[in-house]
Amino acid sequence: MNSQRIVLLGDSLGMPTGSEEIEYEDTYPYLLKIDLKHFEIISRHRRTNDTSKQLSSQRIFDDIEMLKPDVLVVHLGIVDCAPRVFSRFQNAIFSMLPVIVVRNILRIISHFRYNITKLNNKTYVKKDKFKINIEKFIDISNEMGMQLLFIEILMTSQKNDNRSYNFKNNIIEYNKIIEAASSSGNVGLVKYDTKDFLLKDGIHINKEGNKFLAHKISEKIANLVK
């Protein structure tokens, strides 16, 4: 009998940091392969990934329809809800400018970031769209007969909240959407029980956080596939 397949959809929080803090062997996708030896684990984490990107037709086809997982784990949200100075399109235009111009602009923006994000109230994925996206994951899992597991958004640092207006509140509000969607019997939810899982950037997950996620995901999957 073939082993059951788990597909992990996420952003850089399930990837090495590249700064000698989190190596590949420290990531929870790697640790899951050790904990869940009787499962096939496939990681589809991508940097700067959000729910709208992940629900593009191509990624639904590549990551879900073609892989046909028994369990789908969705760890997205921080990229969606983080306060932004620029939209993705504006960032693309901005990146075309000369490096020295970009540096000077960023220096000014960094100084006024809190006020700019307060005036802008900009995120990559608005709250109402995020709700639609989360419900779409549930619809897909029901259509394909998969078990679905969401991982909530880890609270950011106070430093980040002081730099970007309403950052922590955004996380709380988006997590409410995830939690409400996880109330159905076919959907599981992994919640954090500590704030000590952050690296210095206040976004990415440290070694203990990765161990925690691997353990909690293993527990949840054991209950989901009983």
What are the tens digits of pLDDT across the range 81-140?
Answer: 999 998 888 888 878 888 888 788 888 888 899 999 999 889 999 999 999 999 999 999
Per-residue burial over 51-73, b if 16 or more Cβ lie within 10 Å, else e, is bbbbbeeebeeebbeeeebbbbb
DSSP state of 198: B
Q: Are 171 and 153 in contact (CB under 8 A)?
A: yes
What distance lies between CA 25 and its chain's CA centroid? 19
Average pLDDT score over residue span 59-76: 98
What is the overall mean pLDDT for the chain? 93
Residue 70 in this model has a pLDDT that exceeds 90: yes
Residue 1 in this model has a pLDDT that exceeds 50: no
What does the pLDDT read at residue 2?
A: 63
Q: How many residues does the chain have?
A: 226
What does the pLDDT read at residue 101?
A: 83
pTM over 0.75: yes
Q: Where are any strands of DSSP class E within 46-101? A: 71-75
* pLDDT single digits (tens) 151-194: 999 999 999 999 999 999 999 999 999 999 998 767 999 999 77
